[in-house]
A and B are shown apart, each in its own frame.
Chain A
Amino acid sequence: MASSIENNNEKLTLKSSDGEEFLVEKHVALQSTLLQNMLDSDCSSADVIPLPKIDARTLALVLGYCKKHADASSSKQGELNSFDSEFLKDMDMGALFNLVLAANFMEIKGLLDIAAQKIADTIKDKPHQEVREIFHVENDYTPEEEAAVREENRWAFEGFP
């Protein structure tokens, strides 16, 4: 415990899939459960930690989120909430998927939640054909199968356009 306080200003290096290196303060990195576990198991903070699944653009976003949440005190919950809602605003779907995968990989629960919520909001209240178009989902049901699915949970499709 004492060592973690001691090493508060320690920095570690993260390497993105496209080879870019990011210098991160330890307390910021600790927002990620993955990194936390890595640091706990062996204190190899001097080494470069490769993150082969995350590209530089996404990693920069993730670290921006982590920094904000690591630096803000718990009393500023309202400020964090508004930051969160601004954070994903106007983000295109490709970037959002990269982000949700990165948050999942690095185990950053808060970020995973807000990104998933954003995707859920996109699905909500939309006709199925529109959802298919947004996410490029190909409808591979036969008309008979589709009718059967509708019948199985009829109430779920009530009121849908």
Chain B
Amino acid sequence: MGSTSKSCKLSEEVKLNEEEDRISNLPENIMVCILSLLPTKHAVATSILSTKWKRMWTSITNLDIEFLDSKGRGSRYEKSFVKFVHHVLLSLDGSNLGGFRISCKGVSLNFKASHVKSWVTTAVSCNVRQLGIYIPPLLASRWLPDDLFTCETLVVLKLGYCFFLPVPSLVRLQNLKTLLLHSAVFRDGDSAYRLISGCPVLEDLSLIKCGGRGFRLLKISAPLLKRLVISYPLPECYRPHDVLYDVSSDEYKIELITPSLVSFQYSGLVAEGYGSDMLSSLVKARLHFELCGEDTLMTSKTQDADTVGTPITKLLQGISNVHTLHISGNSIETLELYSYDIMEEPDEDDFELCFEFEMHQFLKLPTFRNLTRLKLGVNSHVRWGLLHYDRYSDPDNWDWHPPENVPACLLFSLEILDIRKFQGQRRELKIVKYLLSNAKLLKTLSVHCEKRKMKREMLEVFRSSSYAGIWIMNLESLPNILQRKYALLRDLDKSLQEVQRQNEQRCEQEIEEMKREIKSGNLAPDASKLRFSDEAVDEQKHAIRIADEKVALASQAYELVQAISLHLPFYIEISTLVIQMVDSHIQQLDQYLKKYDEDLRRDRESVATTGSSVQNVDSNNKPTKGSESGRGGRIIEEHAFKDEALNAGTRLGATTAATSAAATNPTSMDLDLPVDPNEPTYCFCNQVSYGEMVACDNPDHEAFFLLLQCLAKSKSTSMPIPCLRQNLAENMAKAASQTC
């Protein structure tokens, strides 16, 4: 079985090599699939390939015809197109048309609406499931057959571009799930309601620039509707012939009875009213209110001073269950304008604290209980002055006051906060501080700053907040933090050195004293000497503590940078800076160790000499032994310090190396870091360690480190730095044990 099929396969391959016509011999369903994916023009054109292909295209299930432009080819070309569409529709094999999309933007004014009508009739008789018709403005009012509105197979219907939409009295589109109307003109609001109500399973509805004369109420009643887009209803409605409808005097209302709605998008003018009680299931809303023309606004102001503004408030109350709300900057401005009218007689009792400081408090805004994501942004010319509490105060000197009660959404749901156009002013900081301290569930905070110089307070606010999220801050702030940390490191360095220096002095003193005592033969037990030993031990411990602090600081800086560089690869340069800092810190620690080593060796030598002389003088002298054991204790402490520092060094080294592999260009840094005066110089170039260091292979070598750049001009990033660090640590440990 296997062998026969194998030989079969082989013969197939041979045939393939002989340039077999495989495409013509594909199973029919694959051919249908391929041809249906082509624009219908191309699919029909395949009939020229060979006799086998002549009728192949007639089984396609998807028509996609586009007539863009006759390009001066005259009416003959257009006639040829019309004939083509008729012929294709009549030639189709099955009565199973999946999709029919026809776009004839390029047709002339002589184009007859009756053509479209007969095409649609044919498509409906072919049980079309998806229908998309895009036509230019037509003269005729009845260009769609009534059959279309009772087509049972129709699932998707998209009609576009400036047409009059006649809705018959009977609409029954049992299976229609998606309806998109672009620039459709209805006779009245009732016909729109009739159309939508005739689609019981409708899930997606988009009404873009739809409206009509006498269109006073847009009532949408769809029990299963999930997504609704209403974009610019009314004012931009054009009648055929591009005559603008006279809508300025038409106030209209929008009423939504959509209990399953999940996503709602609205852009356009503020309607007179929004009936939006049935929006409890809403998750996502995107609102964009346009300002009316000046005159419209003025009329509405004078006419309905009490009612204008409330529609938006009512709409917002209706959608207060949303998790994601997007209100454009324009909208807030619009809200403000409208709120002037309400402001005239503010009713103190009706004050309701808005869900955020974002909205004007004179607008009675609801609390958005489920809000998880908030994006705050303002228009460039409005700025954050919008948030001020007292609108009559100077817009440049307003202050922000937190609401009396913390809004529930802040406490219980807000997770993502995105603040745009942050300027770093004190009142803005106040707002952000308030947000940070009250948003208990906040996971992500993004702040986009406009000004290049971030205020120090801002950083303090961030530092003091305990949440573990992502900070996207002004890039410039980072070096400031790092520099501060670096300064701290330097302070610690100084104190460490001071402690060391004192210790050394005292040790030398003691040794001198001892030598003197030995010489004079006066070896009486001295309690002060014992105390001195203890003190020395304490001092060493102090030094270790300081060193620990330094390590902690360095790793803090490292973590900070890692957090940022993880999310933003372009921060890589900054991380390089920190890597260098951490590196140099390690070098410093190493250098201290080296110094200690030398100190120890010196101490040991002197102790050895004095010790032997002591033994020579009096082998039974207990106090000296005590003193010696005290010294031994000190040595142990030193080793402990050394080990700890070593561990820290290797730890940091490993993490540093991990990121240094990612950092490709470590040398070019804008930031001019001050060179630490304590920074030791290395190898033959006599420079401080800006870059990575490697341990010298020769154990007898005086200089323990070599600057990598000096070692090889072509710096290899794949250098196994952790191993080197490990070796270094081992070498150091070995050296330490030898000196013991």
User: Cα distance A85–B19 when bound, in Å?
Assistant: 27
Pairwise interchain contact A138-B41, C-beta atoms closer than 8 A: no
> With A and B bound together, what is the CA distance between A128 and B47 in angstroms?
10
Q: Are B45 and A97 in contact (CB-based, < 8 A)?
A: no
Q: Which residues of B contact A117 (CB under 8 A)?
A: 37
Q: Which listed residue (B3, B5, B34) contacts A120, Cβ 8 A?
A: B34
B9 near A137 with CB under 8 A, answer no
- Please determine whether B29 and A104 come into contact, CB atoms closer than 8 angstroms: yes
Q: How far is the CB of A134 from chain B (nearest CB, A)?
A: 9
A residues near B47, Cβ cutoff 8 Å: 149, 152-153, 156
A146 to B53, CA, bound (A): 12
CA distance A138 to B21 in the complex (A): 8
The closest CB in chain A to the CB of B44 belongs to A156
Looking at A55, A116, A156, the one whose CB has the most chain B CB atoms below 10 A away is: A156
In the bound complex, do residue A156 and residue B49 qualify as a contact, i.e. CB atoms below 8 Å apart? no
Could you tell me if A152 and B87 are in contact, using CB atoms closer than 8 angstroms?
A: yes
Q: How far is the CA of A154 from the CA of B33 in the complex (A)?
A: 24
Chain A: how many interface residues by the 8 Å CB criterion? 44
The stretch of B77-85, B187-195, B303-311 in contact with A is B77-85
Interface bits B12-25 vs A (CB < 8 Å: 1, else 0) = 00001001111110
B9 touches A97 (CB 8 A): no
Q: Is B738 an interface residue (CB 8 A)?
A: no
- Find out whether the CB atom of B50 lies under 8 angstroms from the CB atom of A124: no
Contact B9 A101 (CB under 8 A): no
- Write out the residue numbers on chain B whose beta carbons fall within 8 Å of the beta carbon of A141: 48, 50-51
CB distance from B11 to the nearest CB of A (A): 12
Bound Cα distance from A138 to B54, whole angstroms: 13
Asked if residues B41 and A155 are in contact (CB atoms below 8 Å), the reply is yes
Contact B5 A17 (CB under 8 A): yes
In the assembled complex, A131 has its CB within 8 A of some CB on chain B: yes
CB neighbours of B84 from chain A (8 A): 153-156
Closest-by-CB residue of A relative to B27 is A104
Residues of chain A with a CB closer than 8 A to B48's CB: 128, 141, 146, 149-150, 157
Q: In this complex, what residue of A is CB-closest to B17?
A: A94
Q: Is the CB of A158 within 8 A of B49?
A: no
- CB contact between B30 and one of A19, A104, A150 (< 8 Å): that residue: A104
Cβ-based interface call for B121 (8 A): no
Q: In the bound complex, how far is the Cα of B34 from the Cα of A76, in angstroms?
A: 27
Q: From known contacts A128-B49, A156-B84, infer whether A135 and B24 are also in contact, taking CB-CB under 8 Å.
A: yes
Contact across chains for B50 and A137 when beta carbons are under 8 A apart: yes
* Interface residues in B305-321 (C-beta closer than 8 Å to A): none
Asked, given contacts A55-B9, A154-B80, A155-B80, whether A116 binds B45 with beta carbons under 8 Å apart, the answer is no
Interchain nearest-CB distance for B73 vs A (Å): 8
Chain A residue numbers with a CB within 8 Å of B524 are: none
Complex Cα gap A19–B34 (Å):
31
What's the least CB distance linking B15 to chain A, in Å?
A: 10
Q: Does B685 contact A (CB under 8 A)?
A: no
Instruction: Provide the main secondary structure of the chain A interface.
Output: helix
Cα distance A146–B47 in the bound complex, in angstroms: 9
User: Is A18 interfacial (CB 8 A cutoff)?
Assistant: yes
User: Is A125 a contact of B42 with CB atoms below 8 Å?
Assistant: yes
A137 and B5 contact, CB distance less than 8 A: no
**Given A18-B6, A116-B34, A136-B20: A131 touches B26 (CB 8 Å cut-off):** no
> Taking A100-B30, A104-B30, A155-B84 as contacts, is the C-beta distance between A137 and B53 under 8 angstroms?
yes
Known: A135-B22, A136-B20. A155 touches B81 (CB 8 A): yes
Chain B residues in 8 Å Cβ range of A136: 19-22
A53 — nearest CB in chain B belongs to which residue?
B5
Expressed in whole angstroms, the Cα–Cα distance for A6 and B83 within the complex equals 59
Most buried by B among A123, A124, A155: A155
Residues of B within 8 A of A78 (CB): none
Q: A19 contacts which of B6, B21, B26, B45 (Cβ < 8 Å)?
A: B6
Q: Which residue of A lies closest to B47 (CB)?
A: A149
Contact of B23 among A97, A104, A145 (CB under 8 A): A97
Contacts of A112 in B (CB 8 A): 30, 33
Are B34 and A137 in touch, CB under 8 angstroms? no
Residue A23 CB within 8 A of the other chain:
no
Docked CA distance A160–B579 (Å):
62
By a CB distance below 8 angstroms, the chain A residues around B46 are: 123, 131
Within 8 Å by CB of A119, from B5, B34, B44, lies B34
Bound CA span A97–B34, Å: 12
- Interchain CA distance A52-B20 in the complex, whole Å: 21
Given contacts A136-B20, A137-B24, 20 further A-B contacts (CB under 8 A): A18-B5, A18-B6, A19-B6, A94-B16, A94-B22, A97-B26, A104-B29, A113-B33, A120-B35, A123-B34, A124-B42, A132-B49, A138-B21, A139-B50, A140-B51, A145-B51, A154-B80, A155-B80, A158-B73, A158-B80
Which 8 A/B pairs are nearest by Cβ-Cβ distance? A155-B84, A19-B2, A156-B44, A120-B37, A135-B23, A116-B33, A155-B80, A17-B5
30 interchain pairs (CB within 8 A)? A15-B2, A17-B9, A18-B2, A18-B6, A19-B3, A97-B23, A101-B27, A101-B30, A104-B27, A104-B30, A116-B34, A123-B38, A124-B42, A131-B46, A135-B23, A136-B19, A136-B20, A136-B22, A140-B50, A141-B50, A149-B54, A152-B87, A153-B45, A153-B87, A154-B83, A155-B41, A155-B83, A156-B41, A156-B84, A158-B77
User: Could you tell me which B residues sit within 8 Å of A by CB distance?
Assistant: 1-3, 5-6, 8-9, 16, 19-24, 26-27, 29-30, 33-35, 37-39, 41-42, 44-51, 53-54, 73, 77, 80-81, 83-84, 87-88
